[in-house]
């Protein structure tokens, strides 16, 4: 039966609110989508070129990693026994754009979809930082998108938010990288209070220098820790510097000297006892890190701890800290194993979280003023400093 004019008017009248509601819902979704931002993150502070894409939801929920790609320069630097800054910069130049293409393709995005370009502003090697910053600013200017310079350590600190089990604020953070060892109270993004730090070498440096003394190749930390699996951690009585100092500071320079003395004493036997020496060195470093972290938890009454930075990949550290914290009903969070060392995902994530928290807005000034030396205190939200 054909519809009469009255029927059409009746239908139109009664379906109008429905259509209107649908239109509003569609507009709201489009608006939300428009507000959600795609962050491209570039890390180039040392010997890894990392690029990643993170989607920052408009509703303030935890940003999501869409894709990331990494090129490690370990093979290139190995022949020199350590990072050669000039070679590092040149290699970043070669890698950064192909890696960018790779993350865009694997996320099904194009450069035009990128809303903000984030890069590591410091600390790190000046030349290496300049590559990431320069490329980020050039992309930003060409696309007419704002850029944001990120503190490398804040990237590490917030990297556990990329894991399947993200932490909640507040927490104690043990930041253990190649250049830094710090215990921090973290109350939110940009709300960091340093409780203790190393007065000389960092934990990663202690691993690397001890490995070198033992004749292990670069990068020392992971190689020493692999070798330690076959050794006896109690074979050599090595010092645990500042273990009972009562404060939350660290000192690892003396440990390296003790390892050197022990290696010399062993002489020709070093080769046969290397695994034992590696295991004993690792045990000394881990004992101090675990004890000081427990002290920080006790002093602050915090119930949650986050471990970040390259040394956070160490299995003995994870096992001992997990054990100690389980006994005290304290939650421990780590970044995913492959995101413990330097990567672009943590830089994109830190940028997204800073924007969401209203700590910093990206800008179109494109001044790539990198900061090779940049204490984390410098970015602490002033109201809480
Ligand atoms: O955070 P990261 O990648 O770079 C910096 O920002 O410094 O940390 C690198 C440090 C190096 O000292 C490296 O030897 C150490 O982390 N590292 C490890 C392990 N994996 C990386 N140390 C001990 N055990 C590991 N499995
Ligand atoms: Zn790092």
Q: Is the CB of 44 under 6 A from ligand 1?
A: no
Task: Please state, in angstroms and rounded to a whole number, the distance separating the CA atoms of residues 180 and 382.
Answer: 22
Q: What is the mean pLDDT of residues 224-252?
A: 97
CA dihedral 292, 298, 300, 304 (to 10 degrees): 80
Residues 6 or more apart in contact with residue 297 via CB below 8 angstroms:
172, 303, 305, 325, 328, 330
210 Cβ contact partners less than 8 Å away, ≥ 6 residues apart: 220, 224, 255, 256, 259, 281
Compute, in angstroms, the gap from residue 310 CA to the centroid of ligand 1: 3
- C-alpha triplet 167, 374, 54: angle, nearest 5°: 40
Among candidate residues 201, 276, 171, 176, the one with its CA nearest the CA of residue 231: 276
Inform me whether the pLDDT recorded for 371 exceeds 50.
yes
pLDDT score of 16: 65
**Can you state the angle between helices 220-228 and 315-327, rounded to 10 degrees?**
70
Q: Does the structure show a pLDDT above 60 at 27?
A: no
- C-alpha 348: how far from chain center: 10
Give, using CA atoms, the residue closest to atom 10 of ligand 1.
178
**Cα–Cα dist 271/83, whole Å:** 26
In this prediction, residue 188 carries a pLDDT of: 97
DSSP string, 226-289: HHHTTS-TTSS----TTTTSSSS-B--HHHHHHHHHHHHHHGGGHHHHHHHHHHHHHHHHHHHH
Length, in residues, of the chain = 385
pTM score: 0.90
Number of continuous H segments (helices) and E segments (strands) in the chain: 11, 10
CA distance 6 to 14: 12
| pLDDT at residue 110 tops 80 | yes
Element (H, E) at 152: helix 152-158
In short, whether 342's Cβ falls inside 6 Å of ligand 1 is yes
207 lines ligand 1 (CB under 6 A): yes
pLDDT given for residue 270 in this prediction: 97
Work out which ligand 1 atom sits closest to the CA atom of 152: 6
The pLDDT value given to residue 29 = 46
Please tell me if the CB atom of residue 182 comes closer than 6 angstroms to any atom of ligand 1.
no
Residue 383 has pLDDT above 70, yes or no: no
Ligand 1 contacts CB of residue 123 (under 6 A): no
4 DSSP assignment: P
Q: How many angstroms separate the alpha carbon of residue 202 from the centre of ligand 1?
A: 10
CA 125 distance to own-chain centroid:
17
34 has pLDDT over 70: no
Is residue 15 over pLDDT 70? Answer: no
- Whether ligand 1 lies within 6 angstroms of the CB of 341 is answered as yes
Protein residues placing their CB within 5 Å of the ion ligand 2 = 177, 342
Question: Is the CB of 206 inside a 6 Å radius of any atom of ligand 1?
Answer: no
Of all residues in the chain, the percent with pLDDT exceeding 70 is 90
Residue 248 exposed, middle or buried by CB count within 10 Å (0-12, 13-18, 19+): buried
pLDDT at 32 over 60: no
Give how far the C-alpha of residue 263 lies from the chain's centroid of Cα atoms, to the nearest Å.
Answer: 34
How high is the pLDDT of residue 301?
98
Residue 159 CA, distance from chain mean position: 4
Q: Give the pLDDT band of residue 381 (cuts 50, 70, 90).
A: confident
List strand residue ranges (DSSP E) for 74-227, in order: 116-122, 147-151, 171-176, 181-188, 191-197
Our mutation pick for probing the ligand 1 site, out of 152, 341, 350, counting the most ligand atoms within 8 A of Cβ, is 341
- Please report, to the nearest 10 degrees, the dihedral formed by the alpha carbons of residues 367, 372, 377, 382 taken in order: -10
Q: Which of 118, 61, 161 is nearest to 351 (CA)?
A: 118
> What mean pLDDT, rounded, does the chain reach?
93
Q: List pLDDT tens digits, range 36-73.
A: 999 999 999 999 999 999 999 999 999 999 999 999 99
Both tokens assigned to 244: 């009972």
Q: Bridge partners of 38?
A: 55
Residue nearest to atom 2 of ligand 1 (CA): 310
The two tokens of residue 344 are 């672009």
Cβ(220) to ligand 1 under 6 A?
yes
Give the span between the Cα atoms of 339 and 367, in whole angstroms: 28
Q: Tell me the mean pLDDT in the region 275-286.
A: 98
Q: For ligand 1, pick from 121, 128, 311 the residue to mutate: most ligand atoms within 8 Å of CB.
A: 311
313 C-alpha to center of ligand 1: Å? 7
pLDDT tens-digit profile of 155-205? Answer: 999 999 999 999 999 999 999 999 999 999 999 999 999 999 999 999 999
């Amino acid at each position: 039966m054909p519809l009469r004019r009255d029927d059409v008017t009746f239908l139109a009248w009664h379906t109008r609110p429905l259509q209107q509601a649908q239109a509003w819902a569609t507009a709201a979704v489009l608006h939300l989508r428009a507000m959600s931002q795609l962050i491209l993150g570039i890390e180039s502070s040392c010997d890894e070129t990392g690029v990643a894409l993170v989607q920052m939801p408009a509703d303030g929920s935890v940003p999501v990693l869409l894709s990331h790609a990494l090129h490690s320069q370990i093979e290139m630097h190995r022949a020199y026994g350590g990072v050669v800054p000039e070679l590092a910069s040149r290699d970043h130049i070669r890698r950064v754009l192909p890696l960018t293409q790779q993350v865009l393709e694997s996320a099904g995005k194009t450069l035009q979809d990128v809303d903000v370009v984030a890069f590591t502003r410091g600390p790190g090697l000046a030349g290496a930082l300049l590559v990431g910053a320069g490329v980020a600013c050039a992309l930003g200017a060409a696309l007419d998108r704002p850029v944001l310079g990120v503190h490398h350590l804040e990237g590490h600190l917030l990297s556990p938010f990329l894991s399947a089990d993200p932490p909640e604020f507040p927490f104690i953070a043990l930041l253990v990288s190649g250049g830094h060892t710090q215990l921090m109270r973290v109350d939110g993004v940009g709300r960091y209070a340093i409780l203790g730090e190393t007065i000389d070498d960092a934990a990663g440096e202690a691993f690397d220098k001890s490995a070198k003394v033992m004749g292990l190749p670069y990068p020392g930390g992971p190689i020493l820790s692999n070798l330690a699996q076959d050794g006896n951690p109690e074979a050599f009585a090595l010092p645990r510097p500042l273990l009972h100092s009562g404060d939350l500071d660290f000192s690892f320079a003396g440990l390296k000297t003790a390892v050197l003395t022990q290696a010399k004493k062993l002489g020709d036997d070093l080769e046969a006892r290397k695994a034992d020496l590696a295991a004993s060195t690792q045990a000394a470093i881990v004992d101090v890190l675990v004890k000081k972290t427990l002290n920080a938890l006790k002093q602050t009454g915090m119930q949650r701890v986050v471990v970040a930075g390259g040394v956070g990949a160490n299995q003995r550290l994870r096992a001992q800290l997990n054990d100690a914290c389980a006994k005290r009903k304290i939650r421990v969070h780590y970044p995913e194993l492959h995101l413990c060392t330097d990567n672009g995902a943590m830089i994109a994530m830190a940028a997204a979280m800073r924007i969401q928290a209203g700590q910093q807005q990206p800008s179109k000034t494109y001044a790539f003023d990198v900061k090779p030396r940049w204490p984390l205190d410098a970015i602490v939200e002033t109201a809480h400093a």
